[in-house]
Amino acid sequence: MSFAVEDGETVLAAGLRQHLALPFGCQSGGCGSCRVRLTAGAVAYPFAPPALSQAEIDAGYILMCLARSQSDLTLELHQPPQLDELRPRKLPSRVLSKRMLSHDVIELRLKLPKGDALRYLPGQYLDILLDDGRRRSFSIANAPNGETLELHLRVAPGGKFARWVLDEMPDKAILRLEAPLGAFYIREDSSRPILIMAGGTGFSPAKAMLEDLLPRAAQRRVHLFWGGRAQADLYLDAEVRAWAARYPQFRYSPVLAEPDAGWAGEAGFVHEALLRAYPSLSGYEVYLCGPPAMVQAGKRAFLAAGLDADHLFYDSFDYAFETWPQLG
C-alpha cells in the first residue's frame, strides 16, 4: 500500500487521514506503539523520540506519530493481518463491579454493550473518555470473552480518576471507552521462547496475554518476571503460581525491590533478575510492560545482551494521555 504525506504532516496523521489501519497509541512519542522500521528515505522529528533507544534508532526504527517525511519513504510494518478489523472505536460500558486486589490496586470490571463485542488483541489497552475531554489509559487485563473487560487501577497520589472510582463512582456507572489501542500483543508468527517483564500494574496486559496464550500454545515456552516493591504489590501472585503449576511450559519469577522479611525469591531490579536467568538473549522474544524507568532500563540492558530489536516489544505506562488534547 502507499499513501501521501503533506508538508508538515506526521506519517501517522497522514495514514490515519487516509483511513489506513496503522498501529498507534499515545500520539506523543512516549508509548512506542507506532514504532515501524524505515527501510528507505529520511524523516525529521520536532524533538528526540522519547520511546526509542539508540539501539532501536540504529536498527532503523522510527515513531510515526512524530516523524515528518523528508523524502519518499519505505516502511516495514510488523503487524497482524487482522489489524484492519481492530480499528479503535468509541463505545459505552457499564460498571459491573470493583474490588481491591491489594492496598492500592482496584480491579474494575466493565460490561460491554449486548451484541457489540469488542475485538482486541491481548495486551492492548483502552482509553476512558472523561467529560472534560481528557483521557485515562488502562491496559485490558483479561483475554477477550466478548462480554466483559477487566482493568487494574493503581490508587496513586494525585490519581484523581482512580480515587473517584474508589470513593465516588456510582454503582452501575456508564463509562465511555475508546478501544482497542496500542501495538502490544504476542507475535503469533514467531516460535521463539517468550520472556515477559512486568512492573506493578504492568502485570495487567501480561495477564491478558497469558490467559489467552497458555491454554492453547503448549509448545511455546513462556517465563514471566513480575517486579514489585514488596510482596503485597504482587496482587495476583497466587493466581500466577497456579498457572505455573498447571502449565509445564510456563515459569514465574517474582522479584522484590525491597524484600519482606523471610523472602526467599529474587530481589533487586527486575531486569537484572531476568538477565541473571538469561545472560544472552539471542533467540528470545521479550515483552516489557510497566513504569517508564523500568522499560527504558530493560530495553538498554536487553539489547546489549544480544536481543534482536525486531523481537523487543513494550508498553510504557507513562502519562502520554495528558498531552492528547493538545497533540491529537
Q: How many CB atoms lie within 10 A of CB 158?
A: 6
pLDDT of residue 281: 98
* E strand residue ranges, the chain: 35-40, 43-44, 61-63, 68-69, 74-76, 89-100, 105-111, 125-129, 135-139, 148-154, 174-181, 194-199, 222-228, 250-256, 266-267, 285-290, 312-316
pLDDT of residue 285: 98
pLDDT of residue 116: 81
User: pLDDT digit of tens for each residue in the chain (328 aa)?
Assistant: 789 999 889 999 998 898 887 877 778 888 888 899 999 999 999 998 888 988 899 889 999 999 999 999 999 887 776 666 788 899 999 999 999 999 999 999 999 999 888 999 999 999 999 988 889 999 999 999 999 999 999 998 878 899 999 999 999 999 999 999 888 999 998 999 999 999 999 999 999 999 999 999 999 999 999 999 999 999 999 999 999 999 999 999 999 999 989 999 999 999 999 999 999 999 999 999 999 999 999 999 999 999 999 999 999 876 433 323 332 2
Left if phi > 0, otherwise alpha if psi is -120 to 50, otherwise beta: which for 105?
beta
Strands 194-199 and 135-139: unpaired
Could you tell me the domains of the chain?
A: 11-79 (3.10.20.30), 88-181 (2.40.30.10), 194-316 (3.40.50.80)
pLDDT of residue 324: 31
Containing 244, the helix (H) or strand (E) segment is: helix 237-246
pLDDT of residue 246: 98
Grid cell locating 301:
540492558
